Structure 1
Amino acid sequence: MSHFAILLAGRMAPTAELRALVAAARVIAADDGIRHAATLGLAPELWVGDFDSAPGEPPIALAGVRRETFERDKDKTDGELAIEAAIALGATRLTLVGALGGPRSDHAFAHFILALRYYRAGLDIALCDGAESAFPLSAEPRHFELEPGTQFSVLKFSAVTGLTIEGAKWPLADVDLPFTSILTQSNEAAGPIRVSVRQGDAILLAQADPTVR
C-alpha cells in the first residue's frame, strides 16, 4: 500500500498521533499547505497549486521542492490537484492533513466531497488535523478505536438507509434517515465503535480529545 499525506491549508495541531500517522508517508503539499511541512518534520516531494495563498518562497529547508503551477482561474481546487498527483504516483492510501478547519468553510466541505469521491473509487482515505478525524462510511462495517467518552457525529450528504452504529452511547441498528435529519449529531463512544451504512453518502467525524464536548 502506497501512503501519501496531502498537506492542505486548513488548521493543524501537530500532535504526536498525527506525526506518527504521516511519518512514513510520501508527501505532496497543496498551495499554503506547505507551511505544515516543517512543523510535522516532513519533506514534500511535490508542491502544487496556483500559489495564490502560499508564501512567495518556501522555508529554506524546502527550497528544492519541485513545483507544479496552475492558473488561478481553474475548475479544480489545489487540494484536488494534489490528490490527483498522488494517485498518478501510485497512491492507494491518502491522509488529508489540514482538511477540516481554517478560514474557508467551503474548502472543508469540498474536502468531504472529495473524500467520498475517492473512497468510492477504491482509495483508503482519511482526513486528519490533530484535533479531529473524518472517515467515509460504506456498507462494509468500519471499526474505529475511540476512547470512551469521545464525541463523534455521522455527517450525511444524502438520505441514508441501513445505518448501524455499535459501541456508542446511542447505538443505531439498520436505521433509515432522510438527508435533513440531524439525529446522528454528537454521539459518544463507549469504547471502540463499528459503523456502516448500507446506502447513501456519509462521513464519521470524531474528536481526537475525548474531553471535548
Structure 2
Amino acid sequence: MLFESLGLKPDLIIGDFDSVDPTVLQKYNEIEMIRYPERKDATDGELAIRAALERGCDDIELYGAIDTRYETDHLLANLLLLKLARGLMKDPATARSVRAVDHRQHIYLVENEKLQLAGKSGDFVSIIPLNEKIAVSIIGVEWELDKSEVTMGSTWTLRNRFASSSADIAIAGTALVVHRHS
C-alpha cells in the first residue's frame, strides 16, 4: 500500500481492496477498515474523501491520485475530486488545503483565492483554468502576470518557472495549480 512506502500510518483504511494483497491488509488489523463491494457508485478515492470530511478533516491530501501508470479516466476523475472535496467541506473558506500529491508535484484546486507556493528557483508552476475565463496574477516567476485573462483550454499559463524561492498566485475563478519540483 502506498502509505507504507511513505512511512504513513492511516487512521482509516477504506475501499474495495481489489488491488491489495490480503497479507498486506493483515498487518493493519488494528486499524479501522471499511470494506466496500467492487461494484459501487463511487471510487475508493471519493469514498475516502467523504469519510475524511465526515470525521471533520479540513486538510485533504490525495496520494496515489496522480500516478502516471494510472488509467486516464481515474487520473482526471481524481483531479476533479479536489473540486468535490472543496464543495463538500462545511466551510470551504476556512479549509486549509485540498491537494493531490506525489513525489514530484503538488496539485491544488484554487477558487477565488490566493496561494503562496514555497519552492526553489527552477521549479515549475502551471495554472489550468476550470472556468471559461479566469483572471490570474502571479509573481516570483519568470513570466509574471497581473490580472491577466486566461481562457479554458489555453496553454499560456503552463510551465512557468520559479524565479525565486516562492511564487504568489491569485486566481479569480477556479483553476488547478500544478507545482512541479525540479
Does the TM-score normalized on the shorter chain lie above 0.5? yes
Tell me whether 1:116 sits opposite 2:90 in the alignment.
no
Distance 1:54 1:87 in 2: 24
Corresponding position of 2:10: 44
Q: Which amino acid aligns with 1:197?
A: I
Q: How does 1:45-84 map to 2 (within 5 A)?
A: 45-58=11-24, 60-84=26-50
Distance 2:151 2:51 in 1: 36
Root-mean-square deviation over aligned CA pairs: 1.7
Corresponding position of 1:140: 113
Distance 1:130 1:43 in 2: 18
How many residue pairs were aligned?
A: 174
Q: 1:180 aligns with which of 137, 142, 153?
A: 153
Q: 1:189 aligns with which of 151, 154, 162?
A: 162
Tell me whether 1:104 sits opposite 2:104 in the alignment.
no
**How much does 1:59 deviate?**
5.3
Query: Contact 1:138 / 1:197 at 8 angstroms: preserved in 2?
Result: yes
**Sequence identity percentage:** 24
Which 5+ residue runs of structure 1 have no aligned equivalent?
Answer: 1-34
Which 5+ residue runs of structure 2 have no aligned equivalent?
Answer: none
| Structure 1 segments of 4+ aligned residues over 6 angstroms from their partners | none
